[in-house]
Structures are given as C-alpha cells and as structure tokens.
C-alpha cells in the first residue's frame, strides 16, 4: 500500500523509523540572534546549545511554508501529516493551508493533518500509530478516527534543567525564573488536552522532580500495557535512563524507547531537559 507520513522536524522518532522511507521530515528553521540553524540531519546540537547559552535573547523558530508541505503531497497513496502543537508553532496552520490548496487541484487525494497537541516524542507516538494502523490494513477514514482517539488519550510531560528559554520567550516571568534557579526548584510540566503548557507539580532539585513526574505518570496512565513509553532527552542520556527506570518500576508499559532531541525539541527543552509521552 502506497502512503506517506509527513512530519515536521520537532518529531523525535527512533533511529530505525528516521531511516524508514515512508517518513518524510520537513525542517523548521531555528534562529539565535543572527545565526541560523536548519533542523535537518546536519543539525549540530552542541553548537546550537552553546549559541543559545551565550545569547541573552530568546531563540526563535520559523515554521515550514505551505509549499514545503505541498511538495510532499505528490505521491500515489494517502498522505498523513503530523505537526508540533498549534499552540507552540505555526507548522500546523502551514500544513493545513497546504492541504486546502492542494485539494483544490486534486480533490480525490486523501490528506489528513494532525495537530499533535504535543511535541517531540508525542509527535513520534502519533506517527507510529499511523504506521501501525496502516500495517494492520485499516482504511484512510478509519485511521484518521483511530489516530484522533489515540491523540486524545496521549499524555506529554517534561522536566527542564534550565528555565532560561521559558523566561526568554515570555512563558515565565523573570522573577519566577530567578526564584526557581536560586532555590533549585524544578517544575513538572506538560501538555494540556489543547496543546498548551501547564505545571503539575514542583520539587527541589532535578532528581526529585523526575521522581515526582514518574509518580504522576503512575497515577494518570490508562492501560499502560497497551502503550509505549517514549522518552526524549537533551544531551543527558544517563538522566533519561534514570527516568525510564523510575517509571518502569512503577508502571508496566508495553514497550519503551529513548531518543536524543533534534533541533526544535532542543530549543524547547534546553540542555538537561527530559520529555516523556505515553
């Protein structure tokens, strides 16, 4: 069956799926002051982290253009698009516009754009569900319905080592960031059902915050034996393995994978950040 799963570059897939020809990545562009980074397979995480740390200004991202998406719609099969939360980026709106423009000329084409209402490994889990349902032989309309249901039940949480980027981009006041840094307070945050960011709890120190996140997951997960635990880390694989162990000793997930963050996720998470979806 011919099909294509188009994802923006905030989607942190496991390595084997990044190499899967059924996936196509559309890069966002990242900017720190006058320096530009394209979030593709040549992205240098270390250089980007150093550049962000040295700048007093907020890093910015530019979403793909509708034309970037439309170029990927020229295939014989169905096309599924998964984007970063529309509350965090214009990537979803750009893909939706591309879909409308393309269907004006090709009205029989099957294209669906999913607003992940998440980021990073949340997008990865949605993309993997699409591939699973295709492999099981489901038809386009049924896949759309099932994936939307999966997205509604999916949860995303994260703990950040540094709050600098949240402060720089206005999501956290300067005073809050100072107090949190001085007292070593680490909030446990996550996505709302609409795809915005909310705080669940906070703890003194990164280890306690990660354990707190594991306990929250234990409380709110539904049917974990049918779910995959996905963990993304920003240049801190030992911390990711610690989180994995803390969660799995509490919750019997069906499977688990760990990935390093690509460009956009690195911008949001910053060095030492952990993102979890399930």
All structural domains of the chain with their residue ranges? 3-28+63-153, 156-277
* Coil, strand or helix at 234: coil
Beta strand 3-8 with 23-26 is parallel
Please give the pLDDT value at position 190.
93
CATH class for the region spanning 156-277? alpha beta
Please give the pLDDT value at position 163.
72
- pLDDT band of 165, cuts 50, 70, 90: low
Return mean pLDDT, the chain.
Answer: 93
Q: Considering the chain, what percentage of its residues have pLDDT values greater than 70?
A: 93
Mean pLDDT for the stretch of residues 40-50: 96
List C-alpha distances in Å: 124 to 12, 67, 75, 83, 165: 6, 23, 22, 10, 23
Mean pLDDT for the stretch of residues 25-36: 97
Q: Transcribe 53-105 into DSSP letters.
A: HH-SSPPEEEPPPHHHHHGGG-SSSEEEEEES-TTT-SHHHHHHHHHHHHHHH
Please give the pLDDT value at position 176.
54
HEC string for 179-205: HHHHHCEEEEEEECCCCCEEEEEEEEC
Q: What are 32's two structure tokens?
A: 């720190």
Mean pLDDT for the stretch of residues 209-231: 98
Q: Can you state the percent helix, strand and coil of the chain, rounding each to 5? A: 40, 25, 35
> Considering only 249-253, 266-270, 272-276, which range has the smallest mean pLDDT?
266-270
Please give the pLDDT value at position 162.
80
CATH of domain 3-28+63-153: 3.40.50.10440
Contacts made by residues 46-51, CB under 8 angstroms, sequence distance 24+: 46/235, 48/263, 48/266, 48/267, 49/234, 49/235, 49/266, 49/270, 49/271
pLDDT digits (tens, 9 = 90+) for 98-149: 999 999 999 999 999 999 999 999 999 999 999 999 999 999 999 999 999 9
Please give the pLDDT value at position 175.
43
Q: Of 210, 188, 270, 264, whose CA–CA distance to 234 is shortest? A: 270
pLDDT digits (tens, 9 = 90+) for 174-214: 545 544 565 688 999 999 999 998 889 999 999 999 999 99
């Amino acid at each position: 069956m011919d099909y294509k799963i188009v994802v923006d570059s905030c989607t942190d897939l496991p390595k084997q799926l990044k190499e899967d020809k059924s996936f196509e990545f559309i890069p966002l562009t990242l900017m720190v002051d006058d320096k530009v980074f394209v979030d593709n397979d040549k992205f240098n995480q270390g250089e980007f982290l150093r550049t962000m740390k040295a700048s007093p200004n907020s890093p910015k991202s530019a979403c793909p253009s509708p034309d970037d998406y439309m170029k990927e719609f020229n295939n014989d099969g169905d096309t599924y698009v998964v984007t970063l939360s529309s509350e965090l980026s214009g990537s979803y709106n750009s893909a939706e516009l591309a879909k409308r423009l393309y269907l004006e000329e090709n009205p029989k084409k099957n294209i669906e754009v999913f607003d992940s209402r998440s980021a990073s490994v949340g997008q990865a889990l949605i993309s993997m569900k699409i591939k699973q349902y295709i492999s099981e032989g489901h038809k386009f309309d049924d896949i759309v319905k099932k994936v939307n249901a999966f997205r509604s039940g999916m949860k995303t949480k994260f703990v950040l080592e540094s709050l600098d980027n949240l402060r720089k981009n206005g999501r956290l006041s300067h005073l809050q960031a100072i107090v949190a840094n001085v007292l070593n307070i680490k909030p446990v945050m996550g996505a709302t059902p609409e795809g915005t960011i909310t705080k669940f709890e906070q703890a003194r120190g990164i280890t306690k915050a990660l354990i707190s996140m594991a306990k929250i997951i234990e409380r709110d997960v539904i049917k974990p034996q049918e779910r995959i635990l996905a963990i993304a880390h920003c240049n801190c694989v030992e911390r990711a393995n610690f989180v994995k162990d803390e969660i799995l000793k509490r919750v019997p997930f069906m499977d688990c994978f760990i990935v390093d963050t690509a460009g956009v996720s690195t911008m949001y998470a910053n060095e030492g950040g952990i993102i979890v979806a399930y």
